[in-house]
Amino acid sequence: MGRTVPTFVQLIQQAADRWRKFRRALRREDQSHFDRLFVRVRCYTQAATYQCHDNPMEAILLSIALDQEKRLYAVEKVLQNAGVLCEIARMDSRPLPEPAGDDALADRPEPSALPFDR
């Protein structure tokens, strides 16, 4: 008997196959970047397999976003250690604008903890 549930690596390959036309339409210099996104997703197969979601594209996109966040954080640390200030690093220290009193979000209480801190 074979496996009834495809592995996440197989799901990544299926998603890459579905996006093949999109990749082909990209500029040649962008195609290698697109390919690297799918290669980097394979670093998160354990977490995506554990999640076992009905829509594997959500896990693929979240894996891409997580990888990009980690890489951006590493670049920011290198810039910080080198004493280089950049606009991105300063954005984190600026307060967000306060919502106007008539905004629907203004009535909501601020969350005391992130949803993952439970």
pLDDT in tens, the chain (118 residues): 566 778 888 989 999 999 999 999 999 999 999 999 989 999 998 888 888 778 889 999 999 999 999 999 898 888 888 777 555 555 555 555 665 655 554 455 555 555 555 5
30, burial (CB in 10 Å: exposed 0-12, middle 13-18, buried 19+):
exposed
> pTM of the prediction?
0.65
Alpha-carbon distance of 81 to 16, in angstroms, equals 37
Whether the Cβ atoms of residue 37 and residue 62 lie closer than 8 Å to each other: no
Predicted pLDDT of residue 118: 52
12, burial (CB in 10 Å: exposed 0-12, middle 13-18, buried 19+):
buried
